[in-house]
Amino acid sequence: MKTLATESRPAHLLEDVRRCLKLASEFSAQEVQEEGHWRGELRSNPSITAEYIMLLYALGESIPEPHLWTAWLLSEQHVDGSWALAPNIPGDISITVETYLALRILGVDHQYSALRKARDFALSSGGIARVRTSTRILLATFGLFPWTAVPELPPELILVSPSNPFSVCQMASWTRGTIIPLLLIRHHRPVFALPNGQSESNSFLDELWCNPDRKQVPYSPSLWKPWKTDPVSFLFTMVDNILHAVNGMRGLSWRANARRKCTSWILEHLDGRAWGNFFPPMHVGVLALVLEGYTLDSPPVRRGLESLKSLVWTGQSGNRIQPSLSPVRDTILMTIGLADSSSPGMVDINIQQSIEWIKSHQQLSRLEAENKIPDPSLRQGGFSFGVSAKSAPDVGDTAAAILAILKNNTGELDSSSVYLAIRWILGMQNRDGGWGAFDHENNKLFLNRTFFGDMDNNMCDPSTADVTGRVLEAFGYILRPPSSNPIAGKLSAVPRDLHKSIATASSRAVAYLLAQQTRHGNWYGRWGANYIYGTCAVLCGLSSLSASRICNPKESTRIQTAITAGIDWLISVQNADGGWGESLLSYRNPKRAGQGPSAPSQTAWALMGLLTGLPPMHVAVVRGVQYLVWTQKPMTGSAGEGGASWDGSIYTGTAFPNHLFLGYAFYSHYFPMMALGRYAFRVENPACESGSSSGDR
């Protein structure tokens, strides 16, 4: 890559940017599906694929083309023999053990060189004894870990009142979708056969135990250790000890009713694409139904297996399983990217068809009664990132959908789609002024100290800065005065009380965001990696709201101070090549915030953040733009023709920090389009406010 020694002259750099955007739009045109949407691969770690292989084997289902699964799993191995949560971070013992088991099931000999290296890594990391709780449960279903060394999960938990702080309904939507099937699996304690036979103490993976004679490994500290320091953990440990002593309450009369309730819940959340098209609940949902007596040919199980099959992605390196499907998110963000980068000479894409496709996937009916909504009369109106009718809508994608619709058709402000989306977001605001992703007031954080605490604080769905920032960006776009907003003339279509509600909610959100800013000036990114993502989302939100001019002078001053601090932090972590990058390891160590090899998506996020308060000719902006211009490369789209995009091999998406990271194939495409488009707009419209850098045409 070129060395950033000098800046391009503004006119020349703008020409380069416009050329990049034209090539990027050509690639977008090649990737659009017939119905007008986009669908990129959603990549994750090898354990998702490994667990699919294990499920098929446990159920006696054939594993088609095993060599393709083997090839991909081996291609993901690190040089030290491990497999990891993402390509560019150190190996993980749980991921390594699960992948090793899948390869053994696929027929790879344990003396094969790749497995010998994996064995060396596993033993040097403490062996199977060090795997997380969810992996323990998986291994126990094959007799590779004793069920007595796994927490008891009585199905009676589903009978606990939703208002009780210990109810499964107090957990995040993604947690309860997985926990409820696990209640049934833990009740049955199945042991499936492996290639060496069936045994409650199977020796199939003994080579991965440091001491295979001692498999009864504690999963929690001694009962008295947390007595003084952590009363909540003490309570959970005491209850679990009691449950183990009474055989998990399996002999009680109400167990049958609890199992029926769990089974009914699983079936109620099954639709044409099964359990929201998210792999973890799909995987355990199928297994739970089989254990409850449903045959492999029964409609629910067959539907679940077909839905799992729909997650298969075949590429040059073989077959793998996606954790979910993300066409709605991809289409929303791609349409924003195209709107932000639009200019004469761009490739013609039927954006209106894409907008109609997005609107057709708006969730308009209540999905599950246990969702905690502050007002039971609140109408649904959210969007989810996937295509399943049972996918829970999320606030971030709903706010992005509003932006996508309005940026591409300003006349949609008075449409029912936008109105219902706004109303739904307003109803989902938490008392602290922020928004979580899927649930309202889902903040019983003590649940993170259960035996699933190794999920790294992912049991709940509290307010986050990145989601809240995205909402403010949409609300600010709607509230701007006519002088800076091309849709302001349509504001009369918004009822006065709704306009007031948006302004009030926005003021509360500002207070939340200002309180969340760190002393370094950045914000944590829950759903993208990490502080660069969170800081961009908040800066875009605060800037958009500031441009609406609804803030009082004191509030405006505080907003500008926060924006300046955020921009200063972004400048301080810019890489020598002009780009920005942040390792996923910053989720474990905040001192790594903003540190890592440059990535196109993270560079784009940083640029969008900078453009909220800096002129386009600022040296940091110019260097970032140059990085994106120089790193774009020719691509062959799905239709086999041209265009250009950016490398997306670095994972920058987050599902569960330190547990499940994501590589969205199109993140490295539409985010650079947004950033370069906003830069070009600012250069061509120097009189516009910084808050108008989001593609207002």
Crossing angle of the two packed helices 395-408 and 465-479, in degrees rounded to 10: 30
Higher pLDDT, 420 or 230: 420
> Which pLDDT does position 456 carry in this prediction?
64
Residue 380 has phi, psi (to 5 degrees) of -70, 155
> Which pLDDT does position 693 carry in this prediction?
46
- Tell me if 59 sits within 8 A of 53, measured CB to CB: no
> Which pLDDT does position 678 carry in this prediction?
97
- Tell me if 356 sits within 8 A of 81, measured CB to CB: no
Residue 484 pLDDT greater than 60, yes or no: no
* Band of pLDDT at residue 697, cut at 50, 70 and 90: very low
Residue 19 pLDDT greater than 60, yes or no: yes
Percentage of the residues of the chain whose pLDDT score is greater than 90 = 72
* Band of pLDDT at residue 694, cut at 50, 70 and 90: very low
> Which pLDDT does position 387 carry in this prediction?
73
* Band of pLDDT at residue 685, cut at 50, 70 and 90: confident
Residue with tokens 């040097």: 124
Higher pLDDT, 480 or 181: 181
**What is the rounded average pLDDT for all residues in the chain?**
90
Domains plus CATH for the chain? 10-42+324-428+464-692 (1.50.10.20), 45-321 (1.50.10.20)
Which DSSP category does 435 fall into?
Answer: B
Burial of residue 387, with CB atoms counted within 10 A of its CB: 0-12 exposed, 13-18 middle, 19 or more buried: buried
What is the per-residue DSSP string for 276-311? GG-HHHHHHHHHHHHHTT--TTSHHHHHHHHHHHTT
Residue 394 has phi, psi (to 5 degrees) of -130, 150
What is the per-residue DSSP string for 482-536? TTT-TTGGGGGGS-HHHHHHHHHHHHHHHHHHHHH--TTS----SSBSSHHHHHH
CA distance 197 to 529: 43
Residue 31 pLDDT greater than 60, yes or no: yes
Which residues partner with 383 through β-bridges? 394
Lowest mean pLDDT among 6-15, 331-340, 492-501: 6-15
Q: Region 84-97: what's the mean pLDDT? A: 97
CA distance 531 to 515: 15
Non-local (6+) Cβ contacts of 673 within 8 A are 21, 24, 25, 28, 337, 338, 340, 341
Tens digit of each residue's pLDDT (9 = 90 or more) over 41-73: 999 999 999 999 999 999 999 999 999 999 999
- Tell me if 41 sits within 8 A of 662, measured CB to CB: no
Q: How many CB atoms lie within 10 A of CB 227?
A: 13
Q: What is the pTM of this model?
A: 0.93
Residue 245 pLDDT greater than 70, yes or no: yes
Tens digit of each residue's pLDDT (9 = 90 or more) over 569-595: 999 999 999 999 999 999 999 999 999
Q: Region 170-178: what's the mean pLDDT? A: 90
> Which pLDDT does position 696 carry in this prediction?
43
Residue 488 pLDDT greater than 90, yes or no: no
Structure tokens at 314: 């075949």
Residue 494 pLDDT greater than 70, yes or no: no
651: left (phi over 0), alpha (psi -120 to 50) or beta: beta
Residue 2 pLDDT greater than 60, yes or no: no
Q: Which amino acid is at 519?
A: R
Tens digit of each residue's pLDDT (9 = 90 or more) over 323-351: 999 999 999 999 999 999 986 556 778 89
> Which pLDDT does position 479 carry in this prediction?
87
Residue 422 pLDDT greater than 60, yes or no: yes
CA distance 305 to 294: 13
> Which pLDDT does position 372 carry in this prediction?
54
Percentage of the residues of the chain whose pLDDT score is greater than 70 = 88
Non-local (6+) Cβ contacts of 155 within 8 A are 183, 184, 187, 255, 258, 259, 261, 262
* Band of pLDDT at residue 231, cut at 50, 70 and 90: confident
Lowest mean pLDDT among 346-350, 511-515, 646-650: 346-350
Q: Region 165-184: what's the mean pLDDT? A: 91
